[in-house]
Chain A
């Protein structure tokens, strides 16, 4: 394997300086479960790997006012082990927890999942559905942007040279608000989503939906926020007519490919099914709190 330089800065500023000053291709590393596979296969040929895990705050979950702040490199095992986050956003934790095996969970992070920019990334739909923001550090300081603005196409992100994600800011749920994530794979473990769906709903006291976000994975080149699916839910209870409208909106948002995991027709149909199922779970959870 070609030689690669490695740096493990211990501050955000140092990391930005190293990234911005790198002459060749510099890649940020969190858990390395995508990056090191791609390095090995030759799909990426970095000159420098910048490991963020020694920067204080990059690993860990804290609460700041109305937000959970999740360090960008926090591994899955710490997300599922955090009772408060799991209680607040079971859908986010379900999505993150589906990534790979126990071994992969020891390393895989939300930032890596988002920035690898696969449309099938399992943690991303529920994170976007919760209107999470990411804190991006770079040569011009830090900025906060919605998580959905990061991936721009398979393997591509909107991050500029010298920039990296420091943390996810996930708003805490409002009264009667909750989420769910489901993916469809042909077996029960260790596979890539044919379709994934994250749904986040807020209800009023009578069980009528007053806010919603429905986000589909693996049905287009990027993850899709399905505005019409949210519209199908808002103002309604979860009856058959609402479910039918939701299913139709989800199907309409699909621009999938056919591959070994599923045909266009199949993916489209499954997207509608998962939208209905995640909505049912999210409504039930939201009503119960």
Chain B
């Protein structure tokens, strides 16, 4: 059985790799491309630690095959900061201490970034529903929500400038 040759764009970079049919996108990111920021919490779509953005929508990379990335545009946690400049969501996670062990954090940040790209002014309820597919066993979610809402405010202020 031959491997599939995939040409795609990851975090703005044209990327090529070989993978087998059953390999998930998460396997490819972590094991083939060395992008280990996306985490494997459950491999069943429940925890959101593997969240990536594919053509503008968030998906669980554990429930997508690596071969499906052909021709798509993918953003992972590694592509959220701009060089050394943290994304406002990342900055606010630090300021609000919105993480403890940090395992869920990449997934939350990618999902929150996608939310704020689509909806710069979410209500807290909207943010909670949007993030319902991201589980955290440490923080109790409150600081995460505060960080996301605060980041939204910062981004709105930046957009006005």
Interface residues of A (CB under 8 A from B): 1-6, 8, 31-33, 36-37, 39-41, 49, 51, 53, 75, 77, 100-107, 189-190
| Contact B21–A4 (Cβ < 8 Å) | yes
Most buried by A among B45, B57, B67, B129: B45
| Contact A107–B67 (Cβ < 8 Å) | no
Q: Which partner residue on chain A sits nearest B129 by CB separation?
A: A189
By Cβ-Cβ distance, the 6 closest A-B pairs, closest first, are A101-B133, A6-B21, A106-B57, A4-B22, A189-B132, A106-B59
Complex Cα–Cα for A2 and B115 (A): 36
Most buried by A among B20, B24, B60, B64: B60
| Contact B65–A6 (Cβ < 8 Å) | yes
Task: Tell me which residues across on chain A come within 8 A of B48, comparing CB atoms.
Answer: 101, 103
Complex Cα–Cα for A33 and B62 (A): 9
Beyond A36-B65, A51-B67, 16 additional contacts (C-beta under 8 Å) are A3-B21, A8-B70, A39-B22, A49-B21, A51-B65, A75-B57, A101-B48, A102-B58, A102-B114, A102-B130, A103-B51, A103-B59, A103-B111, A106-B59, A107-B63, A189-B132
Contacts A102-B58, A103-B51 known; A37 to B44 CB distance under 8 Å? yes
Complex Cα–Cα for A8 and B65 (A): 12
Complex Cα–Cα for A190 and B132 (A): 7
Interface residues of B (CB under 8 A from A): 1, 4, 20-22, 24, 43-46, 48, 51, 54, 57-60, 62-65, 67-68, 70, 111, 114-115, 129-134
Determine how close the nearest CB of chain B comes to the CB of A82; give it in whole angstroms. Answer: 15
| Contact B24–A36 (Cβ < 8 Å) | yes
What is the predominant secondary structure among interface residues of chain B facing chain A?
mixed
Most buried by B among A33, A37, A41, A106: A106
| Contact A32–B63 (Cβ < 8 Å) | yes
| Contact B60–A8 (Cβ < 8 Å) | no
| Contact B45–A104 (Cβ < 8 Å) | yes
| Contact A102–B133 (Cβ < 8 Å) | yes
Q: Which partner residue on chain A sits nearest B2 by CB separation?
A: A5
| Contact B21–A36 (Cβ < 8 Å) | no
Contacts A37-B63, A106-B58 known; A3 to B133 CB distance under 8 Å? no
Task: Tell me which residues across on chain B come within 8 A of A101, comparing CB atoms.
Answer: 45, 48, 132-134
Complex Cα–Cα for A75 and B58 (A): 12
| Contact B58–A1 (Cβ < 8 Å) | no
